[in-house]
Structure 1
Amino acid sequence: MSRRLPRRALSLCVLLAAVAGPSLRATAAAHAHADPGRPHADRSTAAGLVQESATARLRTDGSLSDVAGLSASDIWAVGQQDVWEAWQNRSVITHWDGGAWAEASIRNDPSGAGHLRSVAAVSPREIWAVGDGHDGLPYVVRGDGSVFDRVSVPQFGSGDWLGGVAAVQGRAVTVGSRGRKPLIATATAKGWTIAKIKSRSKGALYGVVVTQKGDGWAVGDNESKPLIMRSSGGSWKPVAVPSVEGGYLRDVYLDGPRKAVAVGGVYQGEGRISPLVLEWNGRRWSRAEVPDRQAELYGVTGDGKGHFWISGFDPDRPDEAFLLRGDGRKWKVVRGEASARPRTVRLQAVTHVGDLTLAVGHVVDEQDRYTDVVERFQPGASPSGDATGTGGDGGRAPAEK
């Protein structure tokens, strides 16, 4: 899944402005983490979930932008370190094996990646990620589970921007913008192709999902309203969506031909953003009702059985991890533990594997220091694995409303 701010210059801007949408999604080694103590279970809340706040141990000022899980012991996350260094920030690719996070390297590329925004995992030996290169070109990498190599895409040029990637066996699709127009590029065994989009179309795409059969959805905005494009019969075309002035979409999850969820927000002015959730019922997209009037939504995932999770940020309770949980009929808020110290928690992306819901992002403390954050939510029992604190205040069961 992928994320960035509406309009292109986001890598640093999204983080600095703390409005990370489809242009955000990073990992490892220690710096100033606040230790909240060991997580523990408390099953008395309505949520029925046990929360664990942890870290992938990124270096100085790190943020995770996206996450993709194959199983509870095979999860990939990407992002960046040194977020304050616009031209020297470093990409991060990190892997969870069920017991610890470990970084993977990108070899044979002296220029290097700056900010990786999106990751897709086809299998344990095929992982894709996209973002920015320090050479001014979009950055695409493919890995085999141990190392990654930059993929050359001759069709990309300076000024192109990539926000999201999705992949299935034999095909990867990445989306973004070219100038002020949507950009969709597909890789197959025959090479890369750029989708032909009507010349009058404008805007940018931040999130994408595809199926093995070739169907798919891509979401973003047309600079003033939400934009959704559909892949069918080998071509991408815009579809009708609710007209929401100031609206944008950052991510999309497909749960079969008759169910999909797209998430984003609506700019209200004066820095205020209201949440936007659109649902597909097999015939049309409609706007869903959500509990909070103000919240920034970044990522969405599901279990393939009609249950969904959305990651984001609540400005009214910035120190708490924030998720929405829905069943296709109603959405509820799930919150993490409150902090005794000032901080801002933004969950940029979320994945669901087995009974584990895992969200990633960053925490910003009162000194404007970034720390990567990994939030785990599981029913019933305390999650296993690394429980190093990142700025949360415990691992209790979250509150739900």
Structure 2
Amino acid sequence: MGYVPRTGWQDTYDLDMSRRLPPGVTPLCVLVTGVLAGGLLHGGSAHAHADPSRPSAAERGPATLVQESATARLRADGSLSDVAGLSKSNVWAVGQEDVWEAWQNRGVITHWNGSAWTELGIRNDASGAGHLRSVAIASPREIWAVGDAHDGLPYVVRGDGSVFDRISVPEFGSGDWLGGVAAAPGRTVAVGARRGKPLIATVTAKGWTVTAGKTAGTLYGVTPAGKGDSWAVGDGDGEPLIMKVSGGTAKPVKIPDIPGGFLRDVTAEGAKKAVAVGGVYHDDGGIAPLVLSWNGRRWSRARLPDRPAELYGVTGDGKGHFWASGHDPGTPGQAFLLRGGAAGWKAVRGKAAGGSRTVRLLAVTHVGDLTMAVGHVVDARDRYTDVVERFQPGATRAAATGRTGRDTGPAAR
């Protein structure tokens, strides 16, 4: 399928899938209710093939945080790679099913309406999306997703909320790879790699502009940064890479010297505030979490809790508060996020469930008072189940997590 970058979290993700899973997956539904005190979420959890039960009214007050862990109910061996929301009842997520089948895995687009997940198909899907990696919302009627196709080309999808179509981009060639997409009205930017160099694809009313950077690197995440600009992040030559995208061009910017570092996602609040997340490889093979912050003048490294962790996704609320999703190898069975702002960054966790399992939250979005993170759970038999973590302060009701059914109209597969 051509060149696919294999650095950073992708190495870890591929290692998780290095052995074929047994057939069949039991969906995970876990409910954890707890209190956020000093950044630590305490609570209980249980496995069940059912919708979550009603949470108890624990510790009502401004510090209360209710966590619900459930599933969008993808088919066997499913994982959600990205999530984006306009409101608590309008959230889109993408990923893949049958992750072990390199030539038969299937890209997934699914929608949360506040009470249930509904999966939508792609109408003109001749070759088939293998893995949809990123989703972005320009408006309620303009949703974009990018990923891999089984024909060896990047996969670009555009939809209006009811139907989705694959978009043909003649400027792409075999071996080009896309890992992230950002959208605003009138302008969409996708990023990835072309023969080991950063790839930037921009579409406006004038059409597509596709260019590759001059230095080595791969871009995984991108976000609008005001006035038609965007930030794109990824890996350079053994260090993190941040590029400023303006028009159809992109240039690396100066960041702290961090050997062994990498970045996987970025979010911005206008031109003067942005946060990028990733990790730093240590000599012993461990990974330390990495957060870089932009203050309108320079990028600086944030101080984080002193323990290993991998960060994959980041989001903000537009008011200077941020959430980063990831994985803590010290407590692999727990949901793990970092919550940050002017006062620093603290961990948010769920209580570990029984049995051997690994939870990876690959992306996160924040709308209203809802923080939603998505990813997958790997059990002791290496079976994958998609996971959706919902955090809300003082929530009193657990929303249903079953899907209302698959579309049967022209958009269905």
State the TM-score, normalizing by the size of structure 1: 0.88
Q: Which among 361, 364, 375 is matched to residue 361 of structure 1? A: 375
- Residues 20-35 of structure 1: pairs in structure 2 closer than 5 A: 31-35=25-29
Q: What does residue range 6-25 of structure 1 map to in structure 2 within 5 Å?
A: 6-7=6-7, 10=10, 14-18=12-16
1:175 counterpart letter in structure 2: V
The one-letter code matched in structure 2 to 1:57 is R
Which residue number in structure 2 is paired with residue 286 of structure 1? 300
Task: Read off the aligned partner of 2:53 and give its amino acid letter.
Answer: R
Q: Which residue of 2 aligns with 1:40?
A: 55
Q: Secondary structure at the match of 2:122?
A: strand
Write the distance in 1 (CA, Å) between the matches of 2:247 and 2:343. Answer: 31
Q: What secondary structure, in the 3-state scheme, does the structure 2 residue paired with 1:17 have?
A: helix
Deviations 1:17-66 (A, max 9, x none): 249xxxxxxxxxx9412453525143379952110011100000000000
Distance 1:280 1:74, change over 3 A: same
Task: Answer yes or no: is the 8 Å Cα contact 1:38–1:387 preserved in 2.
Answer: no
User: Closer, same or farther in 2 for the Cα pair 1:343/1:46, shift >3 Å?
Assistant: farther
Corresponding position of 2:128: 112
Q: Does residue 58 of structure 2 align to residue 60 of structure 1?
A: no
Identity, % of aligned pairs?
66
Instruction: Look up the match of 1:128.
Output: 144
Conservation of the 8 A alpha-carbon contact between 2:146 and 2:154? yes
Q: Is 1:79 matched up with 2:119?
A: no
Give the TM-score normalised by structure 2.
Answer: 0.85
Unaligned regions of 5+ residues in structure 2, if any? Answer: 18-23, 30-45, 47-51, 403-413
Q: Give, in whole Å, the separation in 1 of the partners of 2:259 and 2:60.
A: 41
CA distance in 2, matches of 1:66, 1:18: 18
Residue of structure 2 in register with 1:306 after alignment: 320
Query: Kindly tell me: are residues 44 and 72 of structure 1, through their superposed partners in 2, closer, same or farther at Cα, counting changes over 3 Å?
Result: closer
* Cα separation, partners in 2 of 1:211 and 1:163, compared to 1, 3 Å: same
Equivalent of residue 344 in structure 1, options 333, 358, 368: 358
Which sections of structure 1, spanning at least 5 residues, go unmatched? Answer: 20-29, 389-401
Cα distance in 2 between the residues matched to 1:125 and 1:6? 34
Q: Is the 8 A contact 2:25 2:384 kept in 1?
A: no
Given that 1:90 and 1:113 are in contact with CA atoms closer than 8 Å, whether structure 2 keeps it comes out as yes
| CA distance in 2: counterparts of 1:168 and 1:269, whole angstroms | 40
Per the alignment, in what secondary structure is the counterpart of residue 376 of structure 1? strand
Count, aligned residues: 372
Indicate the SS of the match to 1:165: strand
Q: 2: distance between equivalents of 1:323 and 1:284?
A: 25
- Kindly indicate whether the alpha-carbon contact (under 8 Å) linking 1:214 and 1:233 is maintained by their aligned counterparts in 2: yes
**DSSP-derived class of the 1:256 partner:** coil
Change (3 A) 1:127 1:14: farther
Contact 2:53/2:398, CA 8 A, preserved across alignment: no
One-letter code aligned to 1:219 = V
How has the CA–CA distance of structure 1 residues 235 and 16 changed in structure 2, closer, same or farther, with 3 Å as cutoff?
closer
Letter in 2 for 1:103: E
Task: Output the aligned Cα RMSD.
Answer: 2.2
Verify the 8 A CA contact 2:83 2:364 in the aligned structure 1: yes
